[in-house]
Amino acid sequence: MNPSIRSMTRHAAVMSLLLMAGCQVDTSLQYGPEKYAHTRNIELVLTPPARAWTLVANVSSSGGRFTATETMVNAMIDESKKAGADALLPLEFAGEGGRAGNKQNGIEQFVYSQDGRNITKGRAVRWESR
């Protein structure tokens, strides 16, 4: 094989490997919050909990104008895990939030508007009886 062709082939192979390595995606961006919480061993509570809990930390996340809600909730899941929590629940379930008459479902329960942009807020909690 011609040495210049061999060099070009080797160069193309190396470039392909570099491109594939650059395409690795953070797992927090690969999954929606329900699946991501499961991978982090955090329970994402989307209905009022029946179990007693203790507050571990208040968590929140914000992003730019086009940051997806899922990305912000996944960031709160990471913060909950770092704090040693068992679960993440919306403020409404903690008796806070002030959304009287404005019912939200799913992960939208974590979303609030502040200064014209969306942020997410929640409670990282530990279950009292495991």
Q: Could you tell me if residue 3 is inside a domain?
A: no
User: Does the pLDDT of residue 99 top 70, yes or no?
Assistant: no
Model pLDDT for residues 24-49, shown as the tens digit of each residue: 445 555 788 999 999 999 999 998 88
Spatial CA neighbour of 122 closest among 25, 42, 5:
42
Confidence class for position 80, pLDDT limits 50, 70, 90: very high
Q: Domain with 123 in it: what CATH number? A: 3.30.110.70
Mean pLDDT, the chain, integer: 80
Q: Specify the number of domains making up the chain.
A: 1
So what's the pLDDT on residue 11? 67
What is the average per-residue pLDDT within 90-99?
A: 64
Q: Could you tell me if residue 88 is inside a domain?
A: yes
User: Does the pLDDT of residue 106 top 50, yes or no?
Assistant: yes
Q: Could you tell me if residue 14 is inside a domain?
A: no
Structure tokens that stand for 2 in this block: 């011609």
Q: Could you tell me if residue 74 is inside a domain?
A: yes
- Structural domain that includes position 37: 26-127
Q: Could you tell me if residue 5 is inside a domain?
A: no
Q: Could you tell me if residue 58 is inside a domain?
A: yes
What is the average per-residue pLDDT within 4-16?
A: 69
User: Does the pLDDT of residue 115 top 70, yes or no?
Assistant: yes
As a whole number of angstroms, the distance between CA 53 and CA 43 comes to: 12
Structure tokens that stand for 111 in this block: 């979303």
As a whole number of angstroms, the distance between CA 103 and CA 92 comes to: 10
Whole-model pTM: value is: 0.72
Q: Could you tell me if residue 97 is inside a domain?
A: yes
